[in-house]
């Protein structure tokens, strides 16, 4: 079958995706959010405390208190047994997820702890601080295992690889670094951002690393070579957070421009813009099943979004394609962005719509 000439690609879908719920009740901005492994609970910082939200009802089910300065970062253990929080009081606290009991207070940093992450096997915790240091901790004993030195300014973000062997960090020194967890040895330094690296993430398949930066871009990197694979541009202010979908096909980014953007990790193209927050967005994350996205903002709310992007995007592109075909202005570029099922439908419908000799 001969397809019509190429034309321009569709622009990002500005909010065909729905906001399912707005979680209110915070008295301060939301800096960090994380889902439990089941997706039934969402944890957020709330000043000096943590709030646990029921994602179905939107109710607060537990408040964890103990930090003496504002909480900067939260993380859920992949096995669901523990929570971790880093705060401006220079400590990391580890909490029993079910009871809310504080299991450990981890001391060792000399400045605010801006980032915490728990390894896939729930055995290690990494903390990044404004003292330029990353510390690795044993979650069974609460003992400090290693000190990772190399960044020359505040460590804003840390994340483990899916197999737990590697840690990636981002810093105000404009670089990302990867580290071997077993030894603490540095592996690679990634350069390319022109401002602070505010957030980092490993793709669940382990093939990519993503970073957010105050240079208003999102970058996707090869974790082995440190090569920049794609640079995503579209945000109009600092990019504060990035997160991969569980299937590694989508990347979400949050920004001070009050928007969450979704990108294709394969092409780097913008797919959707989620609008609704009234002030800058600090944090974004996917639910473990990939069905939802949560975003936390300076407007003191958490928004839960449907992440059925492919469904909406496929329908939108199919609609654009069919409309152009009906006008005899078909666009093969739209066609190749569709999934197999949608392409089959397009072929069938095109056979009826194409101009006849």
> According to the model, what pLDDT value does residue 325 have?
53
Burial class (CB in 10 A: 0-12, 13-18, 19+), 3: middle
Q: State the Cα–Cα distance between residues 3 and 281, nearest whole angstrom.
A: 42
Tell me the sheet residues that pair with 148: 134
> According to the model, what pLDDT value does residue 245 have?
96
Q: 314: helix, coil or strand?
A: helix
> According to the model, what pLDDT value does residue 307 have?
79
Q: Please tell me what DSSP assigns to residue 68.
A: S
Give 55-104 pLDDT, tens digit per residue.
999 999 999 999 999 999 999 999 999 999 999 999 999 999 999 999 99
> According to the model, what pLDDT value does residue 17 have?
62
> According to the model, what pLDDT value does residue 326 have?
54
Number of neighbouring beta carbons within 10 Å of residue 49: 17
> According to the model, what pLDDT value does residue 116 have?
98
Q: State the Cα–Cα distance between residues 202 and 160, nearest whole angstrom.
A: 7
Element (H or E) spanning 236, and its range?
A: none
Element (H or E) spanning 49, and its range?
A: strand 49-54
**DSSP string over 285-307:** EE-TTSSEEEEEETTS-EEEEE-
Q: Which CATH superfamily is domain 18-307 in?
A: YVTN repeat-like/Quinoprotein amine dehydrogenase (2.130.10.10)
Q: Name the token pair of 282.
A: 């600090």
Cα distances (Å, whole numbers) of residue 134 to 88, 110, 216: 15, 11, 25
**Is residue 114 a contact partner of residue 132, using CB atoms and an 8 Å limit?**
no
Q: 159: helix, coil or strand?
A: strand
Give the whole-number percent of the chain exceeding pLDDT 70.
Answer: 81
Q: Name the token pair of 317.
A: 């592109």
Contacting residues for 344 by C-beta, under 8 A, at least 6 apart:
none
Q: 135: helix, coil or strand?
A: strand
Give 268-310 pLDDT, tens digit per residue.
999 999 999 999 999 999 999 999 999 999 999 999 999 775 4
Q: Please tell me what DSSP assigns to residue 82.
A: E
Domain residue limits, the chain: 1-16+308-357, 18-307
Going from the first residue of the chain to its last (357 residues), give the mean pLDDT of each consecutive group of 10, the final group possibly shorter: 37 58 95 98 98 96 98 98 98 98 98 98 98 98 98 98 98 98 98 98 98 98 97 98 96 97 94 96 97 97 83 48 54 49 50 45
Please report, to the nearest 10 degrees, the dihedral formed by the alpha carbons of residues 113, 119, 124, 128 taken in order. -20
> According to the model, what pLDDT value does residue 5 have?
38
Q: Long-range contact list for 150-155, CB < 8 A, 24+ apart?
A: 150/177, 150/186, 150/189, 151/175, 151/177, 153/196, 154/111, 154/114, 154/129, 154/130, 155/114, 155/115, 155/128, 155/129, 155/130
> According to the model, what pLDDT value does residue 265 have?
94
Half-sphere exposure of 148 toward its Cβ, with a 13 Å CA cutoff? 30
pTM of the model: 0.84
């Amino acid at each position: 079958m001969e397809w019509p000439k190429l034309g321009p690609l569709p622009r990002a879908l500005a909010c065909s995706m729905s906001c399912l719920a707005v979680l209110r009740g915070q008295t301060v901005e939301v800096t960090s959010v994380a889902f439990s492994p089941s997706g039934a609970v969402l944890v957020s910082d709330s000043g000096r405390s943590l709030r646990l939200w029921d994602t179905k009802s939107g109710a607060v089910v537990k408040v964890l208190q103990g930090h003496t300065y504002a909480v900067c970062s939260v993380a859920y253990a992949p096995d669901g047994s523990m929570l971790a929080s880093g705060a401006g009081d220079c400590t990391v606290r580890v909490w029993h997820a079910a009871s809310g009991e504080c299991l450990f207070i981890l001391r060792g940093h000399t400045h605010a702890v801006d980032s915490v992450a728990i390894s896939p096997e729930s055995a290690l915790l990494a903390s990044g601080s404004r003292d330029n240091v990353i510390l690795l901790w044993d979650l069974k004993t609460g003992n400090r295992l290693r000190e990772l030195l190399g960044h020359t300014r505040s460590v804003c973000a840390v994340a483990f690889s899916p197999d737990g062997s590697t840690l990636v960090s981002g810093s105000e020194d404009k670089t990302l670094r990867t580290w071997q967890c077993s030894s603490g040895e540095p592996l690679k330094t990634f350069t390319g951002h022109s401002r602070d690296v505010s957030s980092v993430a490993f793709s669940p398949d382990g093939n990519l690393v993503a970073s957010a930066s105050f240079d208003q871009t999102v970058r996707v990197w090869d974790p082995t070579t440190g090569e920049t694979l794609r640079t995503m541009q579209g945000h109009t202010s600092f990019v504060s957070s990035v997160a991969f979908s569980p299937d590694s096909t989508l990347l979400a980014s949050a920004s001070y421009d009050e928007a969450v953007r979704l990108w294709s990790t394969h092409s780097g193209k913008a797919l959707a813009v989620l609008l609704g927050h009234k002030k800058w967005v600090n944090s974004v994350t996917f639910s473990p099943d990939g069905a939802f996205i949560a975003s936390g903002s300076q407007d003191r709310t958490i928004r839960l979004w449907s992440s059925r992007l492919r469904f909406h995007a496929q329908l939108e592109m199919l609609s654009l394609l069919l409309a152009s075909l009906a006008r005899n202005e078909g666009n093969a570029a739209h066609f190749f962005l569709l999934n197999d099922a949608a392409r089959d439908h397009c072929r069938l419908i095109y056979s009826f719509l194409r101009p006849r000799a």
